[in-house]
Every structure is written in structure tokens, then in C-alpha cells.
Amino acid sequence: MISLPIPIPENFTPIVKAGDVVSVSSPIAEKKAKDEVIINLSEMLGVKSKNAGKYLLKNPGDEVRKEEVLAIVKGFWGQKTLRSRVHGTITRYERDTSNLAVRLSGFSANEKMLSPVDGVIDLCDNEKITIQTSKHAALGTKGIGMSAKGDVYFFREKDAYALTSEASGKIIVGKSFDSEIILKGSALDALGMIATDIKDDALKFLRSRNLNMPVLEVDIDVLLQLEKWNDKKIFMDGSLKSIVFLQI
């Protein structure tokens, strides 16, 4: 069994608990859709809260459209105009705080975070969800960095100059990586790097630069699996040295 840690993005809330059985693409966390925005007139107009209301051109119940003028302050040096950044309906104005509430029109449904594998929820807190899985998974021998999900890019060359923009946004897999290849991969915005031989100087380089890009060293059997998985998605975690071969 492999422990697959999945970081929970900001503003997402878990909808599973320890012991739950999950399958590929089943929801494990969600982000509530925003249905209201608060606009602080005092802050936006640069006036005192008690005076902000008199500059407001709209009332509760009024519809507002994006870029429509909400308030105007005229002064000696000209005027300051506050325009709406959203389309919706004004629901209330709080005189003590000068907060203007607008209910959004046509807001989207809740956003879901889906499980990348079949398994059982082992840990669930506000930072990550850990799934125990035995399907399409492998362990590395050593690793560093955080986690990433992306397509495998199998790099068959030995020199960093041969690494091109084709590897950008992918997880680079090869036989031996030194600090130059690691640096080139980072510069190309690679999501992660996996090899059977990760030079010690490369790991020192990563630590010195505080790079979060995950890097894993694996044995030859895992490398052969990854070679067959070229252009397909995997999930990797550097700190837990885990790889999951994804089906989605």
C-alpha cells in the first residue's frame, strides 16, 4: 500500500473522512461558490465611514452591472468614481461599517477536487487528504520537495543542453540527473523530476535554492514502468517518495 498525500488548495473543504472508500474522479473536497461580494465604500472612496453613504448612487434592491458607477466623490482636485466590478443586486448597505453587499448574478456551482486514485482515506485534515492505495503505485528510494501531477516526459539524453521546452509543464524522467539538468528543468518550469541516479550535488542544490519542485530517485524497475507511461499522467510526492500512475 502507498500513502498518497494530496494537499488541500486554499478555500477548499474536505467532504470525506478517515475510513471512506474513494474511487478515481470521486469528489474529496469542494470550494463553495461565492454568491456575495462586500464593497467597503469608506476604503474605496477615501472618506469616513459615517459620510460614505451620501455618495452612494444605488439603493438596496437595485441591480448593478459590471463597470456601472456605484458612487462619486467630488472634491477640489476633481472627483473619484467607484465602479462595480461585478454584476448583481444590492442587498444591503451597513451605515456603521460602510459595507455595501452585492448578491452576484449567475455565480458558478461549487468547485470539486477529485480523487486521482482508488483507495481508502487514511488521514483528513485542513491541510491534506492522505489516501491509502495499492493500484498503479510505486515507491522511490530517496526524494525531496513537494508534490506534483502531470504528464511524463522521458528524457533519454545525458546533457542538460538537450533538454528543451518540450519538457515544460511536465514531469521529467530519465536515468541520471545532475545539478545542471535539475537547474535546466526548473528553468523550463518542469513540474517534477525522476531518475535512477540523482547526484548528491543536485539534492544540495535543491536545498540551497529552497525549490519546492519534487525530485525522486527510483530503481530500474520503476524507471521501466515510467518509460512505458510516457505522455501519460502520474502523481508524485517528493517527501513521501511515492508515485501513482494515474488513469485520468
Q: What pTM does this model have? A: 0.57
Rounded Cα distance, 28 and 8, in Å:
10
CB atoms within 10 A of CB 155: 24
Domain boundaries, the chain: 1-31+113-127, 36-104, 136-245
Q: Which residues are CB-contacts of 122 (< 8 A; sequence separation ≥ 6)?
A: 3, 18, 130, 131, 132
Tell me the per-residue pLDDT of 214-233, one tens digit each, with 9 for 90 and over.
Answer: 999 999 999 999 999 999 99
Rounded CA separation 114/117 (Å): 9
Q: What is the pLDDT of residues 85-100, one digit of tens each?
A: 889 999 999 999 999 9
CA distance 133 to 137: 7
36 has pLDDT over 80? yes
Q: Are the C-beta atoms of residues 5 and 36 closer than 8 Å to each other?
A: no
Question: Cβ contacts of residue 161 below 8 Å, gap of 6+?
Answer: none
Q: 207 or 167, which is more confident?
A: 167
pLDDT value of residue 248 = 56
The residues, any chain, with a CB within 8 Å of residue 13's CB and separated by 6 or more, are 29, 30, 31, 32
Q: Is 80 exceeded by the pLDDT of residue 113?
A: yes
Q: What is the mean pLDDT of residues 182-195?
A: 92
Q: Which is higher by pLDDT, 211 or 128?
A: 128
More reliable by pLDDT, 78 or 180:
180
Q: How many Å is the maximal CA-CA distance in the chain?
A: 76
Give me the numbers of helices (H) and strands (E) for the chain, helices first please.
Answer: 5, 21
Residue range 136-245 forms a domain whose CATH class is: alpha beta
- Residue whose entry in the numeric block shows the C-alpha cell 451605515: 95
- β-bridge mates for residue 22, sequence order: 119
- Collapsing DSSP to helix, strand or coil, 220 comes out as helix
Q: Could you tell me the pLDDT band of residue 247, with boundaries at 50, 70 and 90?
A: low
Q: How many CA atoms lie within 13 Å of 134's alpha carbon, on the beta-carbon side?
A: 2
Percentage of the chain with pLDDT > 90? 52
What are 118's three cell numbers?
A: 482508488
Dihedral pair phi/psi, residue 3, rounded to 5°:
-90, 115
Please say if the pLDDT value at position 107 is more than 80: no
Topology, domain 36-104: OB fold (Dihydrolipoamide Acetyltransferase, E2P) (2.40.50)
Mean pLDDT of 69-93: 89
